[in-house]
Structure 1
Amino acid sequence: MRVASSTLYQQGLASMNLQQSSLLHIQQQLGTGRKVLTPSDDPVAATRALTISQASAVNGQYATSRAQANVALGAEENTLSTVTTVTQNIQTLLVQAGNGTLSDVDRASLATALQGQYDQLLGLANADDGNGQFLFGGTNSGSAPFVQGGGNVQYVGNTEQQQFQVDVSRQMAAGSNGREVFQSVQGSAGYVLKGNSANTGTATYGQVSTTDPSNPLYGTALTLTFDDSSGKMQYTIKDPSGTAVGGTPLDYNDPGQISAAGVTFTVKGTPKNGDTISIEPANQAGTDMFANLKSVIDALNKPTTTDADTANLSNTIATSIRQFSNSLDNVLTVRASVGSRMQELDALDTIGTNRGLSYSETLSSVQDLDYASAITEYYQRQTALQGAQQSFMQIQGMNLFKYL
């Protein structure tokens, strides 16, 4: 059989090209550190590597979301810490205002101090994160959530919360809206007593305490009304429908301990016919910190000229002390929630880091190069290429013209 010279050349060239291609492939593997350079190298491994890379990228995005949520919660915690201090300062001033030896001038000075706390509290309610995003506006974070108008403060944000996807199946609120911080109380806050500014007697009340939360009327708003039409001072407690609680009127003694709907409080002084005291659940007795503080500031700025004025002022201060005690409990509860979420983020960060390491190890096992094997193969391919080249040179020398 005769073999054409062109065939020998083609076979030699094909062999060298094949060995050169194999050597180039292993060189690329050594240069990149990857054993799978194209999907055709190992379709199964390439698919697994793509899946793992996508999962790792998503895990990284969760980590970014957690970092953003942590920054937002940290800013809120810092602000709430100051809100706590301001609320405690207000409580201290209210206790001072309850001193019966103060003059109108002294009370006006305390009103001025409380006004300063009011302004500071409003500034904190409109605090931002340093980037122009207000902390307590809900999802409407582009504008101040609390605005003043007509002497009152109104909340113009919304009650929604900004949510961050911090893990596969966990969305987390990265903030609190202003209403739940500055205009709410906890469900366990109990009752608040409120006097009537139209009262003409000198009856004052102390703090209310819960004695029987299982009482059927517990949580119902009640009204205590004094009446001396029978020739002696008596009182009746009625529910919102006007039905008397306990039936017939009860005699009033100074001081007198009054119990109704599972709560007890003390009243002392001399009430007048028609004077009333409201007994309201905390969530119905004024939960707005700004409105409550403005009410007591106005009362302190008003001179007292009669014993009835003094009694009404004392009742206003007692009510404010209870309201701000409830507000402080609410702020502390929100702070606890923020701290709990930050703690959860730390735990999720640990889980995410471990998950990321697992992804990296799995991806490495799928696509990373075994350098020892690759170097060995490199030298094998290099030797094979040299052999192909030498063989081609030998075949090229097989020519009859050489023997002429």
Structure 2
Amino acid sequence: MRVASSTLYQQGLASMNNQQGSLLHIQQQLGTGRSILTPSDDPVGATRALGVTQAQAVNGQYATSRKQANIALGAEENALQSVITVTQNVQTQLVQSGNGTMSDSDRASLATSLEGLYNQLLGLANSDDGNGQYLFGGTRSGNAPFTQSTGAGNYIGDTGQQLLQVDVARQMPAGNNGREVFMSVTGAAGYVVKGNSANTGSASFGTVSTTDPSNALYGHSLQVTFQANGAGQMEYSITDLSAPAPAPVVAGPLAYSSPAHIEVAGVSFNVSGEPKNGDTLTMQPASEAGTDMFANLQTVIDTLRQPNLTKSDQANLNNVLATASRQFSNSLDNVLTVSSSVGSRMQELDALDDVGSNRDLTYSQTLSGIQDLDYAKAITEYYQRQTALQGAQQSFMQIQGMNLFKYL
């Protein structure tokens, strides 16, 4: 068979090009440290590596979300600690306001002091994260959630929660809305007793205690009404306001003498003083008895600024202060509960960070096993390809000399 010189040249050139291409590929692998440079190197391995890389990127996004959640929860925790301090200061002032030796001017000074605490509380309720996003606005975090109108704090945020995807199957609230913090009580808050500002007698109530939460009437709103009988003796009756048609819960009016111990619906408290005909006291579950910290504090401020001229005025002041003390005790418990929830979420984020770090390490190890280069094998192949290229070059030089032209 006759082989043309052009064929020898073409085959020699193709052989050298192939060897150079193989050598270049090995050089690129050694330079990058990866065995898979293109999908054609290992289609199955390349597909697996792509899936692991995407999973690792998603895991990195979870880590970013956890960092954002930690920052937001940290800012909320700092604000809540300040709210706790202000609430405790309010409670101290309420105790001081109950001092019977204080004059009208003294109470007015305390009202001014409480007004300062009111403004502090309002400022904390409108705290932001430093980037213009309000902590307690719910999903409406772009605007201040509380406004002051006619002396009471009005909540204009919403009850939504900003959820962050902090792990594969975990969405976490990055904060609490203002209604949860400043306008709520815990389920164990019990009852709040209130006096009627229209009362003309001097009856005042004491500490409210829960004696039997299993009572059938527990959780109902009740009203104690005082009235004089035909002989002029004071009596009282108790009505269930939660019933479709409010009805008495005790048989007939009961005789009243100061101090009187009232126990009904699993709740007990004492009443002292001299009520007048038609005076009332209301017993309500804490969740229905006014949970707005701003409105409750404003009621105290307004009452302290009123002159205390009669026994009726003093009884009204005592009742307002007793109600406010219970309300702010309930509010403090609620804020402490929210603060505990924030701390639990931050602790969970730390645990999820550990899990995420371990997962990221696993992904990196898996990627390494799929696409990292075996340097010993690659170097050996490099020298083999280099030797093959040199052999192809030398053989081509020898074939190049096999022609008759050199004999002319």
TM-score bin (small chain): over 0.9
Q: Does 1:248 align with 2:252?
A: yes
Q: 1:297 aligns with which of 298, 301, 311?
A: 301
Partner of 2:275: 271
- Output the CA distance in 2 between the equivalents of 1:125 and 1:6: 89
Q: How many residues align?
A: 404
Partner of 1:312: 316
Superposition RMSD on alpha carbons, in Å?
0.9
Counterpart code for 2:121: L
Q: 1:346 aligns with which of 325, 347, 350?
A: 350
TM-score (norm 2): 0.98
- Output the CA distance in 2 between the equivalents of 1:242 and 1:125: 38
Q: Does 1:238 align with 2:242?
A: no
Paired-residue identity, %:
72
User: Alignment partner of 2:159: what SS?
Assistant: coil
Partner of 2:371: 367
Counterpart code for 1:9: Y
Counterpart code for 2:255: D
Partner of 1:218: 218
User: Alignment partner of 1:238: what SS?
Assistant: strand
User: Alignment partner of 1:200: what SS?
Assistant: coil
Counterpart code for 1:39: P
Where do residues 1-400 of structure 1 align in structure 2 (5 Å cutoff)?
A: 1-231=1-231, 232-240=233-241, 241-400=245-404
- Output the CA distance in 2 between the equivalents of 1:210 and 1:218: 9
User: Alignment partner of 1:40: what SS?
Assistant: helix
Task: Measure how far apart 1:402 and its partner are.
Answer: 3.4
Counterpart code for 1:195: G
- Output the CA distance in 2 between the equivalents of 1:141 and 1:374: 57
**Cα deviation digits, residues 280-320 of structure 1 (max 9, x gap):** 11011100000000000000011101011001101100000
- Output the CA distance in 2 between the equivalents of 1:94 and 1:83: 16
- Output the CA distance in 1 between the equivalents of 2:383 and 2:406: 35
Counterpart code for 1:394: Q
Task: Measure how far apart 1:248 and its partner are.
Answer: 1.2
- Output the CA distance in 2 between the equivalents of 1:202 and 1:349: 61
Task: Measure how far apart 1:164 and its partner are.
Answer: 0.3
Counterpart code for 2:182: F
- Output the CA distance in 1 between the equivalents of 2:151 and 2:97: 22
Task: Measure how far apart 1:87 and its partner are.
Answer: 0.2
User: Alignment partner of 2:39: what SS?
Assistant: coil
Task: Measure how far apart 1:403 and its partner are.
Answer: 4.4
Counterpart code for 1:237: I
Task: Measure how far apart 1:33 and its partner are.
Answer: 1.0
Counterpart code for 2:113: A
User: Alignment partner of 2:248: what SS?
Assistant: coil
User: Alignment partner of 2:360: what SS?
Assistant: helix
**Cα deviation digits, residues 262-286 of structure 1 (max 9, x gap):** 0000111111111100001101110
- Output the CA distance in 2 between the equivalents of 1:304 and 1:14: 111
- Output the CA distance in 2 between the equivalents of 1:203 and 1:51: 76
Task: Measure how far apart 1:401 and its partner are.
Answer: 3.5
Task: Measure how far apart 1:89 and its partner are.
Answer: 0.3
Counterpart code for 2:338: V
Task: Measure how far apart 1:103 and its partner are.
Answer: 1.0
Task: Measure how far apart 1:151 and its partner are.
Answer: 2.7
Task: Measure how far apart 1:388 and its partner are.
Answer: 0.6
**Cα deviation digits, residues 345-386 of structure 1 (max 9, x gap):** 111111011000000000111011111111111111111101
Task: Measure how far apart 1:100 and its partner are.
Answer: 1.0
Task: Measure how far apart 1:253 and its partner are.
Answer: 2.0
- Output the CA distance in 2 between the equivalents of 1:387 and 1:226: 117
- Output the CA distance in 1 between the equivalents of 2:44 and 2:167: 28
Q: Which runs of no fewer than 5 residues in structure 1 stay unpaired?
A: none
